Structure 1
Amino acid sequence: MTRQPDAPRHVVGSPGDADTVLRRLARDGWSAREGFALPDPSWDVTAARLVLHGRIGDQETLALAVLAAARGAGIVAICDPESALGRALVDDLGRLGPVRHGADGGGDDAVADLVPEQRALLDRLAAGDTIAAAAAAEFLSLRTANRRIAEARALFGVRTTREAVLAYLRQRSPE
C-alpha cells in the first residue's frame, strides 16, 4: 500500500494569497470547496483530494478546520498568524504535519516546514543521540519519533535519517 502525501495546510493573511494557493493546488489536482465542514460522512477523505478554504474568525471555525485537516482534507485558512487565534491554528495544524505560511508556501526551504518535534529530534540526532534517546528526551514514544523522522526524510527528499540530519544542518538558519 502506498502512502498518500500529506494534505496541504496553508495559513495566509489575505483572500488574494488564498486565491494564489488555491490556483496552485487546483493545478496539482485538488478540488476546492469553501468552508471547513466536510460533506463526506466517511472519516478519511484523503483520497478525495479536497481542499477546504475560508476565513478563521472564531474558535468554532478553527475547530472545524483542524478536524477537517485531521480527516485528510487540505486546508487554506485566512487568518492573521500573529493573532492568538492564528497562533492556535498554526499550533493545532502543526501537530498534524507541516503548515505553510503565505502564498509562496514556504518555497524550497524544507526546514520551515518542519514541526517543532521534528526540529528537536533532528537537533538531538545531530548532537549524537540515538533515535530512542532523542525520543525519550523529547517525551515522545519511539514510534512517534520514528514517524516524525520519516516525515522529515520525505520533506528533505532523502532516504536515510543520516541524510535528513545532514540536510537539516545545511538548511537551518544559524542561531
Structure 2
Amino acid sequence: MATSAEADTVLRRLARDGWTARAGFALPDPSWDVGAARLILHGRIGDDDLETAQLAVLAAARGAGVVAICDAESAAGRALIDDLSRLGPLHRGIDGTDLIANLIPEQRALLDRLAAGDTIAAAAAAEFLSLRTANRRIAEARTLFGVRTTREAVLAYLRQRQRAPE
C-alpha cells in the first residue's frame, strides 16, 4: 500500500539488489513457483478492482514480490491487505516508523502472550495455531524488528507499543 513516490523508491532499491520489476500483476511464467526469478510485480489497484487485487495475491502466493499502490480503506485495499497478511508480513509504506502496523494480528497476539510470560507453545495453543505456524510468525516478527532472538523481538514489540499512539 505505497504511494507512487514510495513505490518508485522501493522498485529502484529492489532493482539495485537484482530484482526484475514488471508492471502489472499477471505472471508471465507458467511454472507455479517464481520465487527464484526474483520478480517484482507492481501497479495501481483501483478502489473496487477486486480482480486485480486477486491477481496480486496470486502472484505473491507464487513467490513474486508485490508493490501495490491503492487506498487501504477501499474494498480492494482491505481485501488485498487481508489476503496478503495471510501469506506473510506486509510492509506498508517505506518509512518503517510504525513497525507494529506491519505485524499481522496473529503476530501481535503471540507477542502479547509472550510478553505476558507464556511459552511459544502455550501462546500457539491459546491462539489456536500450530506450533510450526507460531514459530514462523515469530520468526517473521524477528525479521521485521531486525533482531535475532525471540526475547529481543518481544522487547522491541513492547518498546514500539509504548511509542504507538492509542
TM-score by length of structure 2 reads 0.88
* 1:108 Cα deviation after fit: 5.3
Report if aligned partners of 1:30, 1:50 keep a CA contact under 8 Å in 2: yes
The change in CA–CA distance for 1:150 and 1:50 in structure 2 (over 3 A counts) is same
Q: Identify, as 1 or 2, the structure richer in helix.
A: 2
Partner AA of 1:122 in structure 2: L
**Other-structure match for 1:12:** 2
From 157, 163, 166, the counterpart of 2:146: 157
Number of residue pairs matched by the alignment: 162
From 9, 25, 38, the counterpart of 1:49: 38
Partner AA of 1:156 in structure 2: F
Q: Report sequence identity in percent.
A: 81
Report if aligned partners of 1:12, 1:81 keep a CA contact under 8 Å in 2: no
1:52-67 to 2 correspondences below 5 Å? 52-57=41-46, 58-67=49-58
The change in CA–CA distance for 1:28 and 1:110 in structure 2 (over 3 A counts) is farther
For 1:32 and 1:85, the matched residues in 2 are separated by: 22
1:41-120 to 2 correspondences below 5 Å? 41-57=30-46, 58-102=49-93, 105-107=94-96, 109-120=98-109
Tell me whether 21-30 or 162-171 shows the greater mean CA deviation: 21-30
| CA deviation vs aligned residue, 1:73-119 (integer Å, no higher than 9, x gap) | 111112111112111111111111222223xx142553332211111
For 1:131 and 1:22, the matched residues in 2 are separated by: 36
Unaligned runs of 5+ in 1: 1-10
Q: Which has the higher contact order (CA 8 A, sep 6+)?
A: 1
Unaligned runs of 5+ in 2: none
**Other-structure match for 1:32:** 21
* 1:19 Cα deviation after fit: 2.2
TM-score by length of structure 1 reads 0.84
